[in-house]
Amino acid sequence: AQSVTQLGSHVSVSEGALVLLRCNYSSSVPPYLFWYVQYPNQGLQLLLKYTSAATLVKGINGFEAEFKKSETSFHLTKPSAHMSDAAEYFCAVSVSGANSKLTFGKGITLSVRP
C-alpha cells in the first residue's frame, strides 16, 4: 500500500523567506504525487502533480516540487513566501493512476509572518 508522510504539523516563515514543506512517500511501484492547498473555509486546490515525466514540477502561485526517487521525497518549495500563501498543504500519492485511490498525508499548516 502507498502512503505519504508529512512531518510536523506547522511551519512558520517570514514574508519573503523560502518555503519548504516536506513530503516523503512509500510505494512499491512508481507513484503519482500531488500537492494540494486548502485555504480557510475552502475546498482543496491542486498546486502541482508528478506523473513520471519531468522530475522538477512547476505549479501555480510560484510553487515547485522535485521528485527524488533515491530519497523517496517530493518536497514543495517556493523561493519567496507571500502572506497569501498561509494555508493548509496536503501531499498525496496514487499508484494506480486513479484519483479514487488518492492517499493524502495529514497536512501541514503554513503561517507567514509579516
Partner 1 sequence: DTEVTQTPKHLVMGMTNKKSLKCEQHMGHRAMYWYKQKAKKPPELMFVYSYEKLSINESVPSRFSPECPNSSLLNLHLHALQPEDSALYLCASSQGSGVEKLFFGSGTQLSVL
The burial class, CB within 10 Å (0-12 / 13-18 / 19+), for 73 is: middle
Q: Which is nearer to partner 1, 20 or 39 (CB)?
A: 39
Smallest distance, partner 1 to C-beta of residue 40, A:
11
Q: Which is nearer to partner 1, 45 or 84 (CB)?
A: 45
The burial class, CB within 10 Å (0-12 / 13-18 / 19+), for 16 is: exposed
DSSP letter assigned to residue 71? G
Positions in the binding site for partner 1 (CB under 8 A): 9, 32, 34, 36, 41-46, 49, 51, 90, 94, 97-100, 102, 104-107
Smallest distance, partner 1 to C-beta of residue 34, A:
8
How far apart CA 18 and CA 10 sit, in angstroms, is 15
Q: Which is nearer to partner 1, 40 or 114 (CB)?
A: 40
Q: Which is nearer to partner 1, 25 or 32 (CB)?
A: 32
Smallest distance, partner 1 to C-beta of residue 16, A:
27
> How far apart are the two ends of the chain, measured CA to CA in Å?
41
